[in-house]
Amino acid sequence: MTDKDDGLKLDRQLCFAVYSAGHAFNRVYKPLLDPLGLTYPQYLVMLVLWERDDVPVKIIGERLHLDSGTLTPLLKRLETQGLVMRERDPGDERQVRIRLTPEGQALREPARAVPAAVGAATGFAGEGMRELKAQILALRDRLIAASGDGD
Amino acid sequence: MTDKDDGLKLDRQLCFAVYSAGHAFNRVYKPLLDPLGLTYPQYLVMLVLWERDDVPVKIIGERLHLDSGTLTPLLKRLETQGLVMRERDPGDERQVRIRLTPEGQALREPARAVPAAVGAATGFAGEGMRELKAQILALRDRLIAASGDGD
DNA sequence: TACAATTAAATTGTGCGCAATATGAATTGT
DNA sequence: ACAATTCATATTGCGCACAATTTAATTGTA
Instruction: Say if residue B149's pLDDT is above 80.
Output: no
The distance of B50 to chain A (nearest Cα, Å) reads 8
- The whole-number Å distance from A52's CA to C27's C1' is 58
Query: Residue A102 and residue A49: Cα distance in Å, rounded?
Result: 12
What pLDDT does residue B150 have? 47
How many beta carbons lie within 10 A of that of residue A104, not counting itself? 21
Instruction: Say if residue A141's pLDDT is above 90.
Output: yes
**Residue A106: closest CA among A132, A131, A127, A84:** A84
What pLDDT does residue A36 have? 97
Nearest by CB to residue B28, choosing from A64, A121, A146, is A146
Q: How far is CA A98 from the centre of its chain?
A: 17
| Nucleotides of strand D lying closer than 7 angstroms to a protein CB | 7-13, 15-20, 24-27
Is B13's CB less than 7 Å from nucleic acid strand C? no
Instruction: Say if residue B148's pLDDT is above 90.
Output: no
Instruction: Say if residue B89's pLDDT is above 90.
Output: yes
* A20: nearest nucleotide, CA–C1' criterion: C17
Is A71's CB less than 7 Å from nucleic acid strand C? yes
A120-144: average pLDDT: 89
**In degrees rounded to 5, what are phi and psi of residue B148?**
-65, -35
Is residue B54 within 8 Å of residue B109, measured between CB atoms? Answer: no
CB distance A6–B146 less than 8 Å?
no
Nearest by CB to residue B140, choosing from A6, A21, A139, is A21
More confident residue, A86 or B126: A86
Query: Residue B141 and residue B144: Cα distance in Å, rounded?
Result: 5
User: How many residues are listed for chain B in this entry?
Assistant: 151
| Amino acid, res. A9 | K
Q: Beta strand pairing status for B84-89 and A55-56?
A: unpaired
Is residue A22 within 8 Å of residue B22, measured between CB atoms? Answer: yes
What pLDDT does residue A107 have? 98
- The whole-number Å distance from B139's CA to D29's C1' is 55
What pLDDT does residue A151 have? 43
A85 beta partners: A99
What pLDDT does residue A140 have? 96
Query: Residue A66 and residue A69: Cα distance in Å, rounded?
Result: 8
Instruction: Say if residue B111's pLDDT is above 80.
Output: yes
B71-77: average pLDDT: 98
Instruction: Say if residue A5's pLDDT is above 60.
Output: no
CB distance B144–A118 less than 8 Å?
no
More confident residue, A70 or A13: A70
Is A41's CB less than 7 Å from nucleic acid strand C? no
Instruction: Say if residue A101's pLDDT is above 50.
Output: yes
Which residue has the closest alpha carbon to C16 C1'?
B70
Per-residue model confidence as pLDDT tens digits over A38-90: 999 999 999 999 999 999 999 999 999 999 999 999 999 999 999 999 999 99
B44-49: average pLDDT: 98
- The whole-number Å distance from A25's CA to D16's C1' is 15
B79-96: average pLDDT: 97
How many beta carbons lie within 10 A of that of residue A73, not counting itself? 9
Q: Which residues of A spanning 104-133 put their CB closer than 7 angstroms to strand C? A: none
Is residue A14 within 8 Å of residue B122, measured between CB atoms? Answer: yes
What pLDDT does residue A11 have? 87
Query: Residue B46 and residue B84: Cα distance in Å, rounded?
Result: 9
What pLDDT does residue A12 have? 84
Confidence of residue B147 (pLDDT cuts 50, 70, 90): confident
First to last CA, chain A: 34
What pLDDT does residue A150 have? 46
| Amino acid, res. B50 | W
Is residue B12 within 8 Å of residue B6, measured between CB atoms? Answer: no
Instruction: Say if residue B40's pLDDT is above 80.
Output: yes
Percent of chain A beyond pLDDT 70?
93
Is A73's CB less than 7 Å from nucleic acid strand C? yes
What pLDDT does residue B151 have? 44
What pLDDT does residue B105 have? 98
Q: Residue B103 contacts by C-beta under 8 Å, 6 or more apart in sequence?
A: B82, B83
CB distance B142–A121 less than 8 Å?
yes
Average of per-residue pLDDT values in chain B: 92
3-state secondary structure chain A: CCCCCCCCCHHHCHHHHHHHHHHHHHHHHHHHHHHHCCCHHHHHHHHHHHHCCCEEHHHHHHHHCCCHHHHHHHHHHHHHCCCEEEEEECCEEEEEEEEECHHHHHCHHHHCHHHHHHHHHHCCCCHHHHHHHHHHHHHHHHHHHHHHHCC
Q: Which residues of A spanning 7-46 put their CB closer than 7 angstroms to strand D? A: 39-42
Instruction: Say if residue B23's pLDDT is above 90.
Output: yes
The distance of B85 to chain A (nearest Cα, Å) reads 21
- The whole-number Å distance from B94's CA to D6's C1' is 12
Instruction: Say if residue A4's pLDDT is above 60.
Output: no
